[in-house]
Chains A and B, each alone.
Chain A
Amino acid sequence: MIGTGILKGMAVTARNFVGSYFEKDRLITVQYPEERTPLAENYRNFPFLIYDTDDAEAGLRCVACKICEKECPPQCIYIIKSEDKKPDYMGKPQFYPAVFDIDISVCMSCQICVEVCPFEAIKMDKVFELSRRERFDALLQRKRELSKSNTYYHSICPTEAAEVDAKLAEAAAKKKPTPPPAAGSAPAAEPTPAPVI
């Protein structure tokens, strides 16, 4: 019959309107700046670089192998590899990225950089409040802004971070029996990762 559909719709609206005074569940608006919906653990936005210990320079896991730069589909990563090696937090001399820029105005959050990284150095962040009035400088994230600690990674993705830590510890334990070759030799074979998948 004509009009029953609209009456049903009105009934739904009226039920929600009156019900919102009695049931909290019917008030679904999130009062955004004051109140936030909890983000899912798998939510991701833009990549960041992880460093171990408290030193953002020496603790950086990235060794500038440039795999992520090559694999990035929209080509938003820009790396300049260092000329020299610096001791990392373990004391082992490593290459490091002299420049590591991610243009988040281009990044499409595909997570391919995270999947290809053999050193577990790049992970996805959850920060989304990045609106800026300028695009070229403000939306280009540099190494200093990108470097975040492993503790921070644990705070945003606890399950995944624990898995990554276990994997790295296992790889380190496997490597340990033969410490002499890892110390100073074989600079050419640098990008070959430890058996971490």
Chain B
Amino acid sequence: MSEIDEGLRSELQRQGIWVTSMQELYNWGRKNSIWPLQFGLACCAIEMIATAASRYDIARFGGEVFRPSPRQADLMIVAGTVTKKMAPQVVRLYNQMPDPKYVISMGACAISGGPFKTGYNVLKGIDRYIPVDVYIPGCPPRPEALLHAFMELQRKIDSQKLTGSEKATHLDSTQPSEFPVPSFGAHDLEPPANPDVFQPPKIERT
């Protein structure tokens, strides 16, 4: 897809002609109608509810329709502590969402296990099983922080390509859209992490 020259575009706009590309139109439509899945896991969900209520009003970003069914949702906000008991259900809900789908990992517990990361019963980050697009640190994050993450996600959607080698994962038939659901093992979830999704880098302490 050829990019439109910025100078030509603004010149045309001055003449009353608005030029766009299929990609821009597609991304514009998608980024302004992100419907989140309605489910909360812990105290971060209270902040998520506050974000949906009138003071912060996520509807200003096109995300007010919290869907009770994963079949109608585009975005999963993992808001709160994911216990090992709950993790298979979260992955299953993600698998049931239609493409394109996005994940926001909200709060310390959902990112890394947070204060419970040395415990026995909490999953140390939902990104062990499903790909996460935006992480929000905080315990819990402010409603504004969730809106900031929402805008970050909109920027990400806006920069996605429809064609070429760097096209969005939901358009690439070689990329998986469902991930194996972990099962309860004798001591831990089996497997403890999905190696296709979770590849932590070696952190240099310098």
Contacts and interface: CB of A to CB of B under 8 A. Distances in A.
Given A29-B55, A131-B148, A105 B206 contact: no
B206 to A, nearest CB: 7
Contact of B138 (A31, A74, A130): A130
Contacts of B132: 135
Contacts of B117: 74, 106
A36 B144 contact: yes
A38 B113 CA distance: 30
Contacts of A108: 108, 114-115, 139
A139 to B, nearest CB: 6
Contacts of A137: 201, 203
Contacts of A104: 137
Contact of A131 (B113, B135, B139): B135
Contacts, number: 103
B135 A140 contact: no
B55 A28 contact: yes
Contacts of B111: 105-106, 135, 139
Contacts of A131: 134-136, 145, 148-149, 152
Contacts of A37: 144
A32 interface: yes
B156 interface: yes
B134 A132 contact: yes
A133 B156 contact: yes
Interface of A: 28-33, 36-37, 45-46, 73-75, 78, 80, 99, 101, 103-109, 128-140
| Listed residue (A106, A130, A132) with the most chain B CB atoms within 10 angstroms of its CB | A106
Contacts of A140: 203
Given A73-B115, A135-B127, A46 B203 contact: no
A14 B206 CA distance: 60
B203 A128 contact: no
Nearest to B206: A99
Given A29-B57, A32-B56, A46-B137, A101 B205 contact: yes
A109 B139 contact: yes
